[in-house]
Structure 1
Amino acid sequence: MRRGTYSLLWRLAMPLVLARLWWRGLREKGYRQHWNERRGHYGPRGAGWHTLWIHAVSVGETRAAEPLVDALMALYPNSRILMTHMTPTGRAAGQALYARHGERFVQSYMPYDMVTKLTRFMRHFTPRVCILMETEVWPNLIAVCKARGITVALVNARLSERSLQRARRLGPLMTEAASAISLVAAQTELDAARVRSLGARQVVVTGNIKFDVAVPAAALAKGAFLRQRIDALAEAGRPVLLCASTREGEEALILDAFKAMPGRLPGMLLLIVPRHPQRFDEVAQLAHARGFKVARRSALGQDGVELDAAVDVLVGDSMGEMVAYYAACDCAFIGGSLLPLGGQNLIEACATGKPVLIGDHTFNFAVASDEAVAIGAASRVLDAADMLVQARALLLDETARRSMGEAGFRFAQMHGGATTRTVELLQGLIY
């Protein structure tokens, strides 16, 4: 595909894209907010800033960018960070994480990948550099940046074999985009090799920035508070299994296995945190339909409100509290890995010192997952039933839990430094 054809397809598809966006707003109101930004329309231009632009599509990329944002803020005290997103959850996560930087941190939705909309965006914000997080390669965005003299870097880059094959089907469109990127800072040698095969020229392996994300003391304190609410009405401490960042189709498998689980431990609590907030109600209903007594995290938000000891399933219906959930549990299963969805990031769970269970489908985080298993920080499960069998064994064995948790903590610590290496490379691109 050529870029002209790609641009024409975008123009033809825009009515459908906007209709779908409006429809999604029925379930998640954030999709109907800041509507004009997605179409490349903005208010009056603010005072002139030296602007460093980071594009973090959703929650995962937004949170992963934290050490990079902090490093750039310190290194360029007279600059501001513009962070763009594609999802309301990503935007909300950015507001929660970075509001402390005041007017030096601004947010916007990135407009759709059309030349006119992107040109208006860049005229308004006048960025000096475009830093794309992880996998975000947009052909027209890169072309407009090149035409306007804005350097493009792809950092914390990861590219699975599946994504590589999809990119290759686009032919010259992706080759042209990849060759115009000035710097690719890749997570692993495999990621680097795949990106090079698309035509990227300057590719350096810097490691995974997510290993540099600090575990906030406030999040640990919130986790301790949540655990107190969970244990308060139980005669003894309750065993807590966290299923984190679960995806559609996985919760039903987990709940069915939990219901049929032989030898379920007395008081065992299943804490499920869906990846997408628009599914909080759905997951609670799935648990209700199977006869479980269900509670929601939002009901435990005040002092004095404790979890009924008869509750079987607690739905984590909150944003920005994943570290607190890890701190509150005894062991954690990382979602997106029971079904062929690619898995989710296990680094935060390891950094909190908790034993980790993962399914076979971790192709989006293959190297980190394999290394965590090899070092004894994580264990693979065959299916939902096997996950519960392994979780039960860990919940019964404090020594095994402690050993895996300590291995996870070491695993998270030994891979640090990617942010420093990435920033050193970016300094050569920022003027």
Structure 2
Amino acid sequence: MNRTLYSSLWWLAMPAVLGRLWWRGRKEPGYRAHWDERLSLGGPTAGERPTIMVHAVSVGETRASEPLVDALLLAYPECRILLTHMTPTGRATGRDLFARHGERVVQAYLPYDTGWMTTRFLRRYRPRACILMETEVWPNLIHACTRQNVPIVLANARLSERSLKRGRKAGAVMLEAARSFTMVAAQTDADAARIVSLGAPNVVVTGSVKFDIVPPPSALEKGAWLRTRIDGAGRRPVFLCASTREGEEALILEAWRQNRDKPQNALLLLVPRHPQRFDDVAKLVEAGGLTLARRSQLDADNTAGIDADVLLGDSMGEMFAYYAACDCAYIGGSLLPLGGQNLIEACALGKPVLVGEHTFNFLDATIDAVDGGAALRVPDADALVREAARLLHDDAARGAMGARALAFAGRHRGATLRTVELVQRLIG
């Protein structure tokens, strides 16, 4: 497929794309807001400050961008950051993370990847550089940047074997986009090799900027507050299942209900990855005969503790607080072949980590964590709950594994500085 065919397919699909946007807005009203930005018909004003564009599609990429955005604002005090997204949850996360920077960080949706829309977008904001986070390859945006002499950096770049195969199937359009990157800052040697195989020039291994994320004091305070609300004295064991995906919760809940080895008063803290699924997961909990409490309904003045089997983490922007409140954590998306999620935040807070077999989206970091004794891989939900029960019972084993998690996170810091140095080579 060449870029002309790719663009034509975008235009043919546009009615369905806009219809799906409106349909998703039934459960997430944010999808119906700022729709003009998606068509490059609106957005924040161009402003007088020079602009550096950072594209972070959703929640994970937005949170990963935090140390990089902070470092860029420090390195370029005359500039502002235009932070673009594709999802309302990503936009909400960015708003919460960067509100402290005021007008120096502005947000917009990235227009759909048609030639006309991306060209209009770039002419409006005239960015000094376009930084795409992790896996965001948009052929028409990249082509427009090349035509307008805007340097393009793929930062914190990762590429799994599965994604590499999909990229090769896409043919000429993806190969042209890969060759057009000005610079690629890859997370690992393996990621770099796969990206080079697509034809990308100037690929440098910098590590993952996610290791440079520092838990904000407010999140740690909220985690301590949440722990006291769980049982008043903070002694009730808490097993966190973070960023779970559809199909996983039913497996975890059944294993939790059946397991007789877990501490009798242990609490399962369940945090689905997608907010539109909160109510569905609540119904699963109750259908399985387990009692339920919801984070959104906790009374700030109630210190009597939570009298429930499961606490549903139905809030946004509190993942660090959930990690701070737990004793050990499972990282979701890995019991089923969904690729897994980032385990770095849990390790940075010294929490023992459990993962399933399917971690291909974060394979190298997960392998390093497992090899370093910071994480443990389990084959299924029953084994997951058994290992969680063992850690909740054994303070010494849990403490040792948590210390190894802290050490693992500390060894990999520094990617943000290396990435900013690459950007400075391009734009001075």
TM-score > 0.5 by shorter chain = yes
Quote the Cα distance in structure 1 between the aligned partners of 2:53 and 2:227: 38
Q: What is the aligned partner in structure 1 of residue 93 from structure 2? A: 93
Deviation at 1:264, TM superposition (A): 3.4
Q: Alignment partner for residue 380 of structure 2, among 372, 383, 389?
A: 383
Aligned residues: CA RMSD: 1.2
Q: What is the aligned partner in structure 1 of residue 328 from structure 2? A: 331
Mapped pair 1:167 → 2:177: no
User: Which residues in structure 2 correspond to 1:275-354 (within 5 Å)?
Assistant: 275-300=273-298, 302-304=300-302, 306-309=304-307, 311-354=308-351
Quote the Cα distance in structure 1 between the aligned partners of 2:418 and 2:78: 22
Letter paired with 1:385: D
Structure 1 stretches of 4+ with a deviation exceeding 4 A read none
Quote the Cα distance in structure 2 between the aligned partners of 1:203 and 1:44: 33
Quote the Cα distance in structure 2 between the aligned partners of 1:427 and 1:322: 32
Q: What is the aligned partner in structure 2 of residue 222 from structure 1? A: 222
5+ residue gaps in structure 1?
none
Quote the Cα distance in structure 1 between the aligned partners of 2:395 and 2:38: 50
**SS of equivalent to 1:344:** coil
Quote the Cα distance in structure 2 between the aligned partners of 1:214 and 1:312: 31
Q: Alignment partner for residue 369 of structure 1, among 366, 371, 386?
A: 366
Q: What is the aligned partner in structure 2 of residue 82 from structure 1? A: 82
Mapped pair 1:427 → 2:424: yes
Letter paired with 1:159: L
Deviation at 1:302, TM superposition (A): 2.0
Letter paired with 2:271: V
Q: What is the aligned partner in structure 2 of residue 31 from structure 1? A: 31
**SS of equivalent to 1:243:** strand
**SS of equivalent to 1:272:** strand
Deviation at 1:258, TM superposition (A): 1.1
Quote the Cα distance in structure 1 between the aligned partners of 2:332 and 2:250: 12
Q: What is the aligned partner in structure 2 of residue 48 from structure 1? A: 48
Deviation at 1:47, TM superposition (A): 2.9
Q: What is the aligned partner in structure 2 of residue 179 from structure 1? A: 179
Q: Deviations over 1:73-131 (max 9, x none)?
A: 01111100000000111000000000110011000000100011112211222211100
Q: Deviations over 1:110-155 (max 9, x none)?
A: 0100011112211222211100000000110100111111111101
Quote the Cα distance in structure 2 between the aligned partners of 1:306 and 1:174: 57
**SS of equivalent to 1:78:** coil
Quote the Cα distance in structure 2 between the aligned partners of 1:23 and 1:306: 42
5+ residue gaps in structure 2?
none
Once the two structures are overlaid, the 10-residue window that deviates more, 209-218 or 184-193, is: 209-218
Asked whether the 8 Å contact 2:229–2:306 carries over to 1, the reply is: no
Quote the Cα distance in structure 1 between the aligned partners of 2:299 and 2:413: 34
Would you say how many aligned residue pairs link Structure 1 and Structure 2? 428
Q: Deviations over 1:40-71 (max 9, x none)?
A: 11158443220000000001110011111111
Asked whether the 8 Å contact 1:300–1:306 carries over to 2, the reply is: no
Asked whether the 8 Å contact 2:44–2:106 carries over to 1, the reply is: no
Asked whether the 8 Å contact 2:228–2:303 carries over to 1, the reply is: no
Change (3 A) 1:391 1:145: same
User: Which residues in structure 2 correspond to 1:128-143 (within 5 Å)?
Assistant: 128-143=128-143
Q: What is the aligned partner in structure 2 of residue 403 from structure 1? A: 400
Q: What is the aligned partner in structure 2 of residue 245 from structure 1? A: 243
Change (3 A) 1:306 1:61: farther
Q: What is the aligned partner in structure 2 of residue 256 from structure 1? A: 254
Q: Alignment partner for residue 357 of structure 1, among 344, 354, 359?
A: 354
Q: Deviations over 1:331-382 (max 9, x none)?
A: 1000000000110000000010111100010001111101101111010111
Asked whether the 8 Å contact 1:344–1:365 carries over to 2, the reply is: yes
Letter paired with 1:427: Q
